[in-house]
Amino acid sequence: MGIRFILMVNKQGQTRLAQYYEYLTLEERRALEGEIVRKCLARNEQQCSFVEHRNYKIVYRRYASLFFLVGVDNEENELAILEFIHLLVETMDRHFGNVCELDIMFHLEKAHFMLEEMVMNGCIVETSKANILSPIQLMDKAS
Amino acid sequence: MAQLLDERDFGVLTSSMSLLVALVSNNHEAYWSCLPKCVKVLEKLARNQDVPQEYTYYGIPSPWLQVKTMRALQYFPTIEDPNTRRSLFDVLQRILMGTDVVKNVNKNNASHAVLFEALALVMHLDAEKEMMSQCVALLGKFIAVREPNIRYLGLENMTRMLMVTDVQDIIKRHQAQIITSLKDPDISIRRRALDLLYGMCDVSNAKDIVEEILQYLSSADFAMREELSLKAAILAEKFAPDLSWYVDVILQLIDKAGDFVSDDIWFRVVQFVTNNEDLQTYAALKAREYVDKPAIHETMVKLSAYILGEYSHLLARRPGCSPKEIFSILHEKFPTVSTSTIPILLSTYAKILMHTQPPDPELQNQIWAVFGKFESCIDAEIQQRAVEYRALSRKGAALVDILAEMPKFPERQSALIKKAEDSEADTAEQSAIKLRAAQQQTSNALVVTDQRPANGTPPVGQLSLVKLPSVSNADQNTAEQGETQSNGALTIMDPQPPSSAPSADLLGDLLGPLAIEGLPGAAAQPEPNLVSGLEGGSNAADALAIAPVEEQSNIVQPLGNIAERFHALCLKDSGVLYEDPYIQIGIKAEWRAQHGRLILFLGNKNIAPLLSVQSLILPPSHLKIELSLVPETIPPRAQVQCPLEVINLRPSRDVAVLDFSYKFGTHVVNPKLRLPAVLNKFLQPIQVSPEEFFPQWRSLSGPPLKLQEVVRGVRPMPLVEMANLFNSLRLTVCPGLDPNPNNMVASTTFYSESTRAMLCLIRIETDPADRTQLRMTVASGDPALTFELKEFIKEQLVSIPVPSRAPAPVSPPAQPVSPPTATSDPGDILAGLL
């Protein structure tokens, strides 16, 4: 329910992070990512951040060279998801300090931890940066 | 669950709220206690009370939690408690008024996210008219804003609004803006605008909207074209002010976007043209015009070829339309078409040939040459046609009978609408809006579909976004299979038992009451003496007059005998209660103990609406009847369902009367109909064994609990027949309880509020020598019941009206008391032969 998948894709179309909340085979995923990314990358600034694809919507936002795409059900509140993307970015920013694409590439597991704290089974469960980052900070301290 | 919502920590609360949303979407009954908690949470957030800094997002307290809470609230149908309701409305009001556009993008988005969810909640609650108009005003502002996101959401929410409430007129004010959005550079916005236009289309603005869509079609990109053409076709069909406009639109459509026009669309056109004689000339003319064009699409060739083949003889006198010219023009297109079109062209040539009597030798030779060429074609269909047509055409004049004009098509549900319904939705979380719309039992016209769906069509891919006003209970209640005779005499109806409707698939089927708009032009005739007969199933989707029209006398006569129908319905549970040329009232009933639920099906058989419809129930004192709202107008060819609840209070034989009145044109018709909520409906058959029977029988010793009477003037009938009659009245005949073969014992349970479940025992003693009299003993625990039941049975036996033949399929296998013909008594044998 709610969120189907979250993708972080760069301008060249390479997927940097992918989290799926429904089962799709590897082939399907690749095909899906290809299609969606093509659609989103072709859009310009003036156009709205929502794209309809098959029976769900993609809410996307562009941060420098990275595109954040979230696929949601038709009934989901789109602006809330848009802001959720921003929350995600801010959280990563707080942890990594001025996060960029390289940070995500090199610390992919941390990015996944963060995301998993925030979204569970397609529902947003935690929105406080402190709560999200505390387990990760603990891990960092312990290692 | 309610305890989980008491949580102070917002993180945990967000998770519990997610859980609540998922649970409530499946079953809101069980979670009523959570409702006030949700409202409190929302209040707390809206007032920004003890929201920790961590959860405040750019000044907005946890927008995601607010959104989730409002989503959860949308699954509850209503809010009972006035206090909760008031506080909720306060909160919503504050959100609606207080959200402004701010500089900070994120804050803006967050506050608007909350705002849009609040809008959805207000739409769902639909209680305050003032708030609704505020919402619509806001949405109107939004669709003209520069920011594309807001515009998109504005359009989407407007489309949603159409589904839940009827704010059509307010939305129409923004029509110009919406049409501009249709041409927006952003494809998502264009799609939304198209959906909205599709949803808000009705008779008044249909022409404009369809024309806009057609215009836009030429410049649209390929992704949209298919959807556009399908929608345009559906709208044109539903709301066509007159049929020639419809034909025009479709021809234009094929011309502009031929590739995207599926075969169903032109099949539909052919159906309409065939069924409407006045349309045929016009269609043929138009087809001829289009064929003149140098480069036309193949579908156009098919369509034109078919129409010209059938109806070009109507044009024969006009310049440029002689059979020869038509043949030559069509033949020019011949080389350009593919194999699928060639058979159609061959048929067309054969028809043209047929119509030229006496045959023009040059034309004949030309056509025969064509046939000859294809007699050895590889494709079997083409070869067969060529050979057969050639052989047939040599028969000369006899050909006219063989290739006679196509008969009218029976009405079928539009294949297009079916296609539009095929969406790929597989959302796990059921949308609150869809659920609510599905449960809505308002007095909207419901689609009456024919039992034969149109031939299967491949679903169109991009149509998952079609959202139509929906109450998804399409009831398949075609109680009639009419047969119209070709000279247009009025039909003979055979009542058919209505089949129960499959409750529509929530996720897939978004289709519901299609606004059934007839032909205001045709219907606005002052004298209501044009009546269309029912053909096939009365299919509301084919709202345009397909059936032939015939003359009708000015007095509205009911069809069939009302008394007979009433008596039939006393034994059966469904059937037609009343019928006249304009309206058909059917009933379907379900009885359980002392409760009954009847549904009245008011079907308008005409192409004009029935006005000032009123129905009053005059209830007798022993029944409590509740009739839900009957609409004042019944749209043309529509069927309205009105449920009726009946509760039996006391035993009585009185009958409730339905005072029904309506206005058609200048006629006011006011039949008073007896409702078949009679005593036997509240009986439940029950078999008693001797051990149960005799003690009961003895304990009920005499009057008033046990009454005995000799009944005279009974309609003579053998015991078998009487047993069948009893069984059909839900009095179970118990064999073997009375050793005397001329006697019959029956038992039943009577239900009412006063008596609860009461066992009744009946014993009939007949005299084989004189079948016009018998002695009847009735016993039950309530004196009034005994009396009423006795009188009731007496009525049934003494003056049984026409349908006295025991309805064998209804009763359980009748257990006749040992057949009287087995005895050697001549009187019996004689009686048995009756």
Segment B619-661, tens digit of pLDDT: 787 888 888 777 778 877 778 888 888 888 888 888 888 888 8
| pLDDT value, residue B201 | 84
Q: Is the pLDDT score of B823 beyond 50?
A: no
Residue B599 binned pLDDT confidence (cut-offs 50, 70, 90): confident
Confidence of residue B476 (pLDDT cuts 50, 70, 90): very low
Least confident of B69-73, B114-118, B797-801, B809-813: B809-813
The pLDDT value given to residue B500 = 34
Cα distance between residue B25 and residue B433, in whole Å:
11
Nearest to B149 among A1, A49, A128 (CB): A49
pLDDT greater than 70 at residue B27: yes
- Across-strand partners of B634? B610
Q: Can you give the pLDDT at residue B628? A: 76
Contact B57 A46 (CB under 8 A): no
Name which of A51, A79, A125 is nearest B18 (Cβ-Cβ): A125
**CA distance linking residue B110 with residue B113, whole number of Å:** 5
Minimal CA separation from B143 to chain A, in Å: 13
A and B: number of Cβ contacts within 8 A: 120
Q: Among B54, B57, B148, whose Cβ lies nearest the Cβ of A48?
A: B148
Helix (H) or strand (E) holding B204: none
Residue B833 pLDDT: 56
Which residue carries 């489309």 as its tokens?
B159
pLDDT reported for residue B411: 64
Q: ipTM score here? A: 0.94
Chain B contact for A10, CB < 8 A? no
Please work out, in degrees rounded to the nearest 5, the angle formed at the alpha carbon of residue B201 by the alpha carbons of B197 and B205. 105
Residue B194 DSSP SS3: helix
How far apart (Å, rounded) are the C-alpha atoms in residues A31 and B237? 38
Q: Is A86 close to B106, i.e. CB distance below 8 A?
A: yes
Q: Which among B22, B64, B423 has CB closest to A80?
A: B64
Residue of A nearest to B13 (CA): A125
Residue A47 has phi, psi (to 5 degrees) of -90, 160
- Between B61 and B419, name the one with better pLDDT: B61
Closest of B229, B193, B230 to residue B214, by C-alpha: B229
pTM of model > 0.80 = no
Phi then psi for residue B512, to 5 deg, are -145, -135
Smallest CA–CA distance, residue B217 to chain A, in Å, is 20
Predicted local distance difference test score (pLDDT) of residue B415: 62
> Is the confidence at residue B828, as pLDDT, over 80?
no
On the CB side of B451, how many CA atoms lie within 13 Å of its CA? 12
Q: Which of B287, B339, B291 is nearest to B310 (CA)?
A: B287
Which residues on neighbouring strands pair with residue B746, listed in sequence order?
A: B733, B762
Identify the band that residue B165 occupies on the pLDDT scale cut at 50, 70 and 90: low
**Contact by Cβ (8 Å): B327, B349:** yes
Query: Regarding predicted confidence, which is higher, B307 or B436?
Result: B307
**List of chain B residues whose C-beta atoms are within 8 Å of the C-beta of residue A120:** 15, 18
pLDDT for B100 equals 83
Contacts of B525 (CB under 8 A, 6+ apart): none
Residues of chain A positioned with their CB less than 8 A from the CB of B185: 46-47
A140 touches chain B (CB under 8 A): no
Cα B164 to the center of its chain, rounded Å: 18
Residues of B in contact with A75 (CB under 8 A): 427, 429, 431-433
Q: Whole-angstrom Cα distance, residue B506 to residue B434?
A: 7
Confidence band for A123, pLDDT divided at 50, 70 and 90 = very high
What pLDDT does B522 receive?
A: 35
What pLDDT digit, counting tens, does each position of B423-474 carry? 433 333 445 545 555 554 333 333 333 333 333 333 333 333 333 333 333 3
**Are B223 and B253 in contact, with CB atoms under 8 Å apart?**
no
Higher pLDDT, B552 or B654: B654
pLDDT at residue number B719: 81
How confident is the model over B583-608, as a mean pLDDT?
A: 83
pLDDT of residue B667: 77
Region B741-759: what's the mean pLDDT? 84
* Chain A residues whose beta carbon lies within 8 Å of the beta carbon of residue B188: 47-48, 50-52
Asked if the Cβ–Cβ distance from A75 to B65 is below 8 Å, we say no
Residue B333 or residue A130, greater confidence = A130
Q: What is the mean pLDDT of chain B?
A: 74
What is the structure's pLDDT at B132? 82
Residue contact B427–A51, C-beta within 8 A: no
What residues of chain B lie within 8 A of the CB of A52, using their CB? 188, 191, 465
Q: Which tops the pLDDT comparison, B557 or A134?
A: A134
pLDDT at B546: 37
Tokens of B705: 């609990």
Is the pLDDT assigned to residue A20 strictly greater than 90? yes
Query: Helix or strand or coil: residue B456?
Result: coil
Tens-place pLDDT, residues B660-685: 888 877 778 888 888 888 888 888 88
Strands (E), chain A: 3-10, 15-20, 50-53, 56-63, 66-72, 119-120, 123-124
- Cβ-based contacts of A62 with chain B (< 8 Å): none
pLDDT value at B593 more than 50: yes
Task: Say whether B15 and A125 touch across the interface (CB within 8 A).
Answer: yes
pLDDT mean over B479-488? 34
The whole-number pLDDT of residue B783 equals 84
Measure Cα distances from B578 to B149, B559, B582, B641 in Å.
Answer: 55, 8, 11, 15
Residue B330 has pLDDT above 90, yes or no: no
All residues of chain A having their beta carbon less than 8 Å from the beta carbon of residue B427 are 1, 55, 73-75
Query: Does residue A48 belong to the interface with chain B, where contact is any CB pair within 8 Å?
Result: yes
**How is B656-711 classified by DSSP, letter by letter?**
-EEEEEEEETTEEE--EEE----GGGGEEE----HHHHHHHHHHS-STTTEEEEEE
pLDDT score of B255 more than 60: yes
Find the CB nearest A55 among B116, B191, B464: B464
Hey, are the CB atoms on B15 and A120 less than 8 Å from each other? yes
pLDDT classification of A53: cutoffs 50, 70, 90: confident
- Chain A positions touching B117 (Cβ under 8 A) are 77, 80
8 Å CB contact of A127 and B186:
no
Question: B166-175, B292-301, B555-564 — which is least confidently predicted?
Answer: B555-564
Confidence of residue B816 (pLDDT cuts 50, 70, 90): very low
- Picking from A83, A120, A134 by the largest number of B CB atoms within 10 A of its own CB, the best residue to mutate is A83
What is the pLDDT, as a whole number, of residue B826? 58
Radius of gyration of chain B (CA): 34
Residue B347 has pLDDT above 80, yes or no: yes
A42 interface with B at CB cutoff 8 Å: no
B32 pLDDT more than 70: yes
pLDDT for the residue numbered B497: 36
Mean pLDDT of A73-82: 90
pLDDT band at residue A118 using 50, 70 and 90 as cut-offs? very high
- Across A33-37, B256-260, B313-317, B521-525, the highest mean pLDDT is recorded for A33-37
Whether the predicted pLDDT of A85 surpasses 80: yes
User: Chain A partners of B63 at a C-beta cutoff of 8 Å?
Assistant: 80, 83
- B16 to chain A: nearest residue by CA? A125
Site of tokens 């075609």: B478
Q: Which of B63, B67, B423 sits opposite A55 (nearest CB)?
A: B423
Rounded mean pLDDT of B693-722?
A: 82
CA angle B572, B576, B582 (to 5 degrees): 175
Could you tell me what percent of chain B has a pLDDT over 90? Answer: 3
Highest mean pLDDT among B516-525, B611-620, B757-766: B757-766
> Helix and strand tally (H, E) in chain B?
29, 19
Is residue B511's pLDDT more than 50?
no
Residue A52 has its nearest CB partner, among B54, B112, B465, at: B465
Q: Among B25, B143, B149, B426, which would you mutate to test the A interface (most chain A Cβ atoms within 10 Å of its Cβ)?
A: B149
The tens digit of pLDDT for each residue in B789-815 reads: 888 888 888 765 544 444 433 333 333
